[in-house]
């Protein structure tokens, strides 16, 4: 079943609610944001140390334009030190838009009679995956409405189907999930299907606001959702993603709520979430929210820089909800993953429609560039587009991921693996102009590569890719 908290006995502190709104507001109201304090906090982060709630609140409360620019510069510096220039690419694939919830910000809400409901059949799913593979995608996140039809067994079967599809040299090597909270047994079922990250967004960490915007359905239970990823951890899924929907409540509170969630995971499971997301509210069919908390571009770019400094080793995802201009700017502040060639409509990757139909989709996207257009943009900025999945397949996840990331191994492994997956894309999918520029970038990065232990082997592997070998990684 999707939802039966009344049948679930909370065994210990691991799955107890952990958000105290008064505590979060006290940190915000008591924050000190003088120049020396802010600069000391930035330096602590640049030394690759996690920030406390108090320190994060000081950055949140910083309003001096010069200091905000220093925060952003610190985030740019930190990203370079830890991640290098690589940007991981993925695509969302919507499986179905049936839903029992009444969330005022979502086109899927059950009371939205304009939404045209459908679910991919197995044959439909295979067609969508083939279309995605034929553009070069290697990483997907499957998205489901919250409905009894989309139970753990259904999700597991769709994951297995996606992994089974092969088109030419294409294959999906990483399947992440964005779906309803499950009980522990349900999460075990999903785990056994070899999923990647299980992603559940709290939407807002402010419970009063949460109840206002979730007016019906299983999702109305704040604490069942808040502790969902604890149940995933207990089921053996150590790769989880958290997020807040920016614009439902004060963004400052949401930033500290996310950090409090990170603290919880680190205290209980000795590893934080693998990713943090911070989608901004966009237009949707049936949208019906109070717009007083909609977040400006200035505050949005600021909060992303703050999150990068606060959690140096956590991946940060920025989606096509944002326009290309904002995405291209924010990439510099610490984003590690973006989607490309995004379609939200069920059957969207095969119908070739240019315009969105919000009555068939969850929300409006604002970056409709193709995957190759985004590849071109990244390459022109000397960033390395990456489809790498090596960490997950070699067990570098959860607590083990921290063993590699904290000493600085993310950059050591990620950059050569990114170059290998870029070379695959250039050989199999890129038009000639992209291929030419992509290989110029690879050559430049090889000249700059300062790890002699890896460099010779990397050059050998790149030559093997040109000769037709695939799926090579460190």
Provide the domain limits for residue 300: 7-19+79-390
For residue 68, is it within any domain? no
Beta strands 384-386 and 337-339, pairing class: unpaired
Question: What's the pTM?
Answer: 0.94
Same domain, yes or no: 154 and 184: yes
pLDDT mean over 444-458: 89
pLDDT digits (tens, 9 = 90+) for 132-163: 999 999 999 999 999 999 999 999 999 999 99
Q: Which tokens in the block code for residue 48?
A: 């690759």
Q: What is the DSSP letter of 373?
A: H
Question: CA 371 → CA 83, 136, 339, 365, 386, distances in Å?
Answer: 22, 8, 8, 15, 12
83 — pLDDT class (breaks 50, 70, 90): confident
Say which residues have a Cβ less than 8 Å from residue 432's Cβ, sequence separation at least 6. none
Domain assignment present for residue 63? The answer is: no
Residue-level pLDDT at 450: 82
List pLDDT tens digits, range 340-364: 999 999 999 999 888 999 999 999 9
If one counts every other C-beta atom within 10 angstroms of the C-beta of residue 143, the result is 21
What are the DSSP calls for 421-458, one per residue? HHHHHHHHT--HHHHHHHHHHHHHHHHH---HHHHHHH
pLDDT of residue 5: 41
DSSP 82-131: HHTTEEEEEEEEEEE------BTT-TT-TT-TT----B--HHHHHHHHHH
Average pLDDT of every residue of the chain? 93
Q: Which residues pair with 92 in a beta bridge?
A: 141
Half-sphere exposure of 463 (CA within 13 A, CB side): 6
335 inside domain = yes
**378-428 residue pLDDT tens:** 999 999 999 999 877 777 666 656 555 655 566 678 899 999 999 999 999
Helices (H) and strands (E) in the chain, counts: 20, 11
Whether residues 386 and 417 share a domain: the answer is no
- Asked if the structure places residue 350 within a domain, the reply is yes
Amino acid 405: pLDDT: 60
Check which CATH number belongs to the domain holding 343 and give it.
3.20.20.70
Count up the domains in the chain and report the number. 2
Residue 68 has pLDDT above 60, yes or no: yes
* pLDDT tens sequence across 260-299: 999 999 999 988 999 999 999 999 999 999 999 999 999 9
Shared-domain flag, residues 455 and 426: yes
The pLDDT-based confidence of 7 (bands split at 50, 70, 90) is very low
- Residue 338's Cβ-side half-sphere holds a number of Cα atoms within 13 Å equal to 31
Same domain for 120 and 268, yes or no, is yes
Same domain flag for 112 and 183: yes
Ramachandran angles phi, psi of 473, nearest 5°: -160, 165
Domain-embedded: residue 420: yes
């Amino acid at each position: 079943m999707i939802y039966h908290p009344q049948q679930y006995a909370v065994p210990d502190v691991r799955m107890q609610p952990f958000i105290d709104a008064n505590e979060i507001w006290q940190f915000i109201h008591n924050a000190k944001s003088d120049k020396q304090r802010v600069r000391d906090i930035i330096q602590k982060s640049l030394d690759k140390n996690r920030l406390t709630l108090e320190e994060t609140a000081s950055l949140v409360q910083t309003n001096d334009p010069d200091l905000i620019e220093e925060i952003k510069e610190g985030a740019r510096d930190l990203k370079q030190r830890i991640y290098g220039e690589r940007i991981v690419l993925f695509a969302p694939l919507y499986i179905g838009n049936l839903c029992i919830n009444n969330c005022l910000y979502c086109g899927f809400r059950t009371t939205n009679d304009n939404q045209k409901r459908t679910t991919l059949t197995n044959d439909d799913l295979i067609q969508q995956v083939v279309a995605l593979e034929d553009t070069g995608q290697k990483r997907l996140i499957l998205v489901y409405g919250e409905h009894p039809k989309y139970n753990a067994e259904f999700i597991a079967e769709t994951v297995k189907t996606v992994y089974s599809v092969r088109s030419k040299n294409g294959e999906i090597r990483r399947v992440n999930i964005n779906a309803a909270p499950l009980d522990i047994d349900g999460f075990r079922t999903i785990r056994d299907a070899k999923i990647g990250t299980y992603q559940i967004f709290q939407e807002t960490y402010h419970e009063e606001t949460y109840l206002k915007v979730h007016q019906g359905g299983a999702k109305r239970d704040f604490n069942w959702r808040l502790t969902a990823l604890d149940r995933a951890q207990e089921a053996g899924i150590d790769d989880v993603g958290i997020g807040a929907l920016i614009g439902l409540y004060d963004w400052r509170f949401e930033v500290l709520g996310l950090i409090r969630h990170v603290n919880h995971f680190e205290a209980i499971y000795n590893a934080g979430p693998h990713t943090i997301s911070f989608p901004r509210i966009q237009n949707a069919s049936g949208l019906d929210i109070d717009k007083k908390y909609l977040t400006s571009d200035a505050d949005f770019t600021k909060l992303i820089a703050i999150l990068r400094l606060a959690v140096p080793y956590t991946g940060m995802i920025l989606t096509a909800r944002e326009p290309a201009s904002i995405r291209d700017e924010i990439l510099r502040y610490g984003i590690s993953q973006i989607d490309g060639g995004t379609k939200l409509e069920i059957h969207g990757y095969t119908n070739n429609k240019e315009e969105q139909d919000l009555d068939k989709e969850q929300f409006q996207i604002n970056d409709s560039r193709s995957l190759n257009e985004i590849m071109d943009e990244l390459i022109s900025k000397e960033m390395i587009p990456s489809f790498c999945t090596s960490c997950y397949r070699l067990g570098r996840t959860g607590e083990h991921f921290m063993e590699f990331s904290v000493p600085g191994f993310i950059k050591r492994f990620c950059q050569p693996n990114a170059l290998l997956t870029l070379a695959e894309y250039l050989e199999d999918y890129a038009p000639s102009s992209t291929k030419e520029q992509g290989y110029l970038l690879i050559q430049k990065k090889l000249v700059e590569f300062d790890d002699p232990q890896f460099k010779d082997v990397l050059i050998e592997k790149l030559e093997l890719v040109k000769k037709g070998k695939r799926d090579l990684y460190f």
